[in-house]
């Protein structure tokens, strides 16, 4: 009877006198009729019927479990792509870079595959071959993904390789945002996440990709100078700060 009320001019609120007849089997799909009846102190009776629809809820659960994070990334790729012209390559140990790259991967319709700093795991190599990818975008500077990975990509038939990276994770997120703004779409909505709070960035990454919002990494109390200077000229419409004030303080909000 949630939300169901009854009132009478003489008796006032007589909700407690409502009697419900009929049953609903929530385990069986179908239409059920419930009748709500109330009688006032003079014996006047009113009944109202309502149709309750029970519909099926089919929840499909797929488990994508690899032997490690590199293999799991490959399984995710296989679940969504038969081929891909472009792949994104991020260091499996530098999660912040990969998360910041999610909106770009979404726009490019490119799987995000993981690498070690000095070499491509065999699982990742196999997936690049399967996808027949000809373009690769490496996320991070040379200390995160060094040039030996580029050689391995070329050996796999990847002919066009770009690198988007900065001096640290904050700078890399800025460079990704700049790349998006120049080559994909105008950045006027951003997500602000703590560069050390990967869980927060992870929770919003898919939404940022869906809604075309660049992910900007900041420190708890500080917006890095280069990041701030660039954002000043972006005609921002909306910024979504992810996390409470212990993660990103109001100093950042005010800035």
Residue 192: its pLDDT value, please?
Answer: 96
Alpha helices in the chain (DSSP H): 69-80, 95-100, 102-108, 122-131, 147-155, 169-183, 198-210, 225-231, 250-254
Mean pLDDT of 76-89: 97
Q: What is the mean pLDDT of residues 47-58?
A: 91
- Residue 167 near residue 141 (C-beta atoms within 8 A): yes
pLDDT on residue 90: 97
Question: Hunting for tokens 């009688």 — which residue is that?
Answer: 39
Residue 218 has pLDDT above 80, yes or no: yes
Radius of gyration (Cα) for the chain, nearest Å? 27
Inform me whether the pLDDT recorded for 66 exceeds 80. Answer: yes
Predicted local distance difference test score (pLDDT) of residue 58: 81
Q: How confident is the model at residue 57 (pLDDT cuts 50, 70, 90)?
A: confident
User: Has residue 56 got a pLDDT over 90?
Assistant: no
Average pLDDT, the chain: 94
Whether 104 has a pLDDT exceeding 90, the answer reads yes
What was the pLDDT predicted at 33? 96
| pLDDT at residue number 62 | 85
pLDDT of residue 68: 96
The token pair at 230 is 């660039």
Phi, psi of 243, rounded to the nearest 5 degrees: 115, 160
Asked if pLDDT for residue 2 goes beyond 90, the answer is no
CB contact set of 192 (below 8 Å; sequence gap of 6+): 216, 218, 239, 240, 241, 242, 248, 252
pLDDT tier at 197, thresholds 50, 70, 90: confident
Q: How does residue 3 score in pLDDT terms, banded at 50, 70 and 90?
A: confident
pLDDT at 207: 94
pLDDT at 59 over 80: no
| Percent of the chain surpassing pLDDT 90 | 91
Is the pLDDT score of 177 beyond 90?
yes
pLDDT of residue 128: 98
Bridging pattern class, strands 189-194 and 214-218: parallel
Q: Is the pLDDT of residue 251 over 80?
A: yes
pLDDT at position 61 is 85
Q: Is the dihedral of CA 194, 196, 197, 201 positive or negative?
A: positive
pLDDT, residue 196, reads 92
> For the chain, what percent of residues have pLDDT higher than 70?
100
């Amino acid at each position: 009877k949630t939300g169901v009320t009854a009132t009478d001019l003489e008796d006032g609120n007589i909700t407690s006198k409502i009697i419900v007849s009929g049953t609903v089997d929530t385990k069986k799909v179908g239409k059920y009729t419930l009748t709500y009846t109330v009688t006032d102190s003079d014996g006047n009776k009113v009944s109202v019927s309502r149709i309750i629809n029970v519909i099926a809820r089919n929840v499909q659960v797929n488990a994508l479990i690899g032997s490690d994070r590199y293999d799991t990334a490959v399984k995710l790729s296989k679940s969504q792509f038969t081929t891909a012209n472009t792949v994104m390559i991020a260091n499996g140990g530098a999660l912040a870079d990969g998360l910041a790259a999610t909106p770009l991967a979404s726009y490019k319709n490119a799987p995000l595959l993981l690498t070690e700093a000095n070499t491509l795991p065999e699982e990742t190599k196999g997936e690049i071959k399967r996808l027949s990818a000809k373009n690769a975008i490496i996320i991070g500077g040379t200390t995160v993904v060094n040039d030996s990975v580029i050689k391995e990509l070329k050996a796999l038939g990847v002919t066009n390789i770009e690198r988007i990276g900065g001096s640290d994770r904050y700078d890399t997120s800025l460079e990704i945002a700049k790349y998006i703004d120049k080559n994909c779409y105008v950045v006027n909505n951003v997500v602000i996440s703590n560069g050390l709070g990967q869980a927060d960035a992870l929770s919003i990454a898919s939404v940022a990709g869906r809604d075309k919002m660049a992910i900007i990494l900041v420190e708890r109390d500080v917006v890095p100078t280069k990041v701030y200077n660039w954002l000043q000229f972006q005609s921002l419409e909306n910024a979504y700060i992810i996390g409470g004030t212990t993660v990103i303080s109001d100093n950042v909000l005010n800035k």
